[in-house]
Amino acid sequence: MPSIFTKIIDREIPADIVFEDDTCLAFRDISPKAPTHILIIPKREIMSLDDLSDEDEQTVGRCVMVASKIAASEGLTDGYRLVANCGSDGGQEVPHLHFHLLGGRKMTWPPG
């Protein structure tokens, strides 16, 4: 069953999209946890980091590259955090691989 992120890719539900190419889509999180909170997702339906196969290597690499480019375009010159929650212990709620780009405030460590 397609996740809510597939519906965003397919433009069935709206999102504030900041970047798109053939591989990835990036859009602002609906419930931001930092002044900048953008989700970078592969267009390919991959559920989580646990579901990666070797053929996904370029896709995931592209998502990370895109995150870095967006961080620069958002002016996150003092740093930022890139997070991928995986599974229930990791706090993943949406079953479509995504990277959270968080910035614009000082992050704490360790995360909760």
Residues in contact with ligand 5GP by the rule CB under 6 A: 4, 15, 27, 29-31, 39, 85, 91-94
Q: Which is nearer to ligand 5GP, 47 or 59 (CB)?
A: 47
**C-alpha to C-alpha distance for 86 and 48, rounded to whole angstroms:** 6
In the complex, least distance from residue 68 CB atom to ligand 5GP, rounded to whole angstroms? 19
Q: Which is nearer to ligand 5GP, 30 or 72 (CB)?
A: 30
Q: Could you give the dihedral angle defined by the CA atoms of residues 99, 103, 107 and 111, in that order, rounded to the nearest 10 degrees?
A: -20
* Identity of residue 52: L
Q: Which is nearer to ligand 5GP, 55 or 111 (CB)?
A: 111
**C-alpha to C-alpha distance for 34 and 101, rounded to whole angstroms:** 9
In the complex, least distance from residue 94 CB atom to ligand 5GP, rounded to whole angstroms? 4
Name the residues annotated as catalytic: 98
The residues near 17 (Cβ < 8 Å, ≥ 6 apart) are 8, 25, 26, 27
In the complex, least distance from residue 23 CB atom to ligand 5GP, rounded to whole angstroms? 19
**C-alpha to C-alpha distance for 37 and 54, rounded to whole angstroms:** 28
